């Protein structure tokens, strides 16, 4: 495959992913805002936190997912929504966004467990700065790049035969880094 076809394919995958995220955001906006449906976080009912939350601070909540085997802290004023992005390559995903503030069609922070081929190919042809990152003992790559007119941060980690993509807009880098610093795999 020549470089032009690879660049076109990579661009098509990225735009498809962004289109799905925008479509999910528009759908959420229509149902949550237009219909007056109030969204509630899924943290406590589906994935209860352990009885002792000694590691959390008063300003954070703990998200724990036994099925996929991980947990992390996130800011008190944020909501977590599961599986809001539906694609054939996404096995499970979370979006995190502030409870208050202007409507955002793209979630500020996204965690996505994807097929290995999607994860390995997604960032291949981007103009990016790559650095190594260690998240709870697992070595991955951090990518800093520009997509359209947006500065983005993404982390790609191996996860058995899948991959985890953590992503955020550069404007949410501090919150993203706090979440990533608290991320733990359940052993």
Q: Which backbone phi and psi does 163 adopt, to 5 degrees?
A: -135, 150
Taking CA atoms, 79 is separated from 70, 88, 117, in Å, by 17, 25, 30
Alpha-carbon span 170 to 88, nearest angstrom? 27
Whether the predicted pLDDT of 33 surpasses 50? no
Whether the predicted pLDDT of 101 surpasses 80? yes
* 8-12, 72-76, 106-110, range with the lowest pLDDT: 8-12
**85: DSSP letter:** S
**50: DSSP letter:** P
Taking CA atoms, 80 is separated from 75, 100, 150, in Å, by 10, 13, 22
Alpha-carbon span 116 to 118, nearest angstrom? 5
What's the order of all strands across the beta sheet hosting 150-159?
A: 78-82, 90-98, 109-115, 162-169, 150-159, 138-147, 128-135
- The whole-number pLDDT of residue 52 equals 36
**Higher-confidence residue: 104 or 165?**
165
User: What whole-number percentage of the chain has pLDDT above 90?
Assistant: 59
- 10 Å CB burial of residue 168 (0-12, 13-18, 19+) is buried
The CATH number that applies at residue 148 is 3.40.1000
User: What whole-number percentage of the chain has pLDDT above 70?
Assistant: 69
Whether the predicted pLDDT of 37 surpasses 60? no
* Count of domains observed in the chain: 1
Q: The whole model's pTM is what?
A: 0.69
What domain range is 97 assigned to? 3-185
Whether the predicted pLDDT of 62 surpasses 90? yes
Whether the predicted pLDDT of 34 surpasses 50? no
pLDDT mean over 57-77: 93
């Amino acid at each position: 495959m020549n470089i032009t076809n690879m660049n076109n394919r990579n661009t098509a995958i990225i735009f498809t992913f962004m289109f799905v995220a925008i479509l999910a955001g528009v759908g959420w906006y229509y149902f949550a805002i237009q219909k007056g449906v109030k969204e509630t976080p899924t943290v406590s009912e589906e994935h209860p936190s352990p009885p002792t939350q000694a590691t959390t601070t008063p300003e954070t909540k703990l998200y724990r997912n036994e099925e996929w085997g991980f947990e992390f802290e996130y800011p008190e004023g944020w909501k977590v929504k599961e599986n809001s992005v539906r694609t054939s390559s996404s096995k499970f995903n979370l979006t995190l966004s502030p409870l208050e503030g202007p409507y955002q069609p793209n979630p500020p922070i996204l965690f996505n467990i994807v097929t290995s081929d999607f994860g390995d190919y997604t960032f291949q042809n981007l103009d990016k700065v790559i650095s190594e990152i260690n998240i709870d003992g697992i070595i991955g790559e951090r990518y800093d790049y520009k997509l359209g007119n947006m500065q983005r941060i993404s982390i790609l980690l191996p996860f058995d035969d899948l991959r985890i993509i953590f992503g955020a807009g550069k404007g949410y880098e501090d919150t993203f880094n706090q979440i990533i610093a608290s991320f733990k795999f359940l052993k």
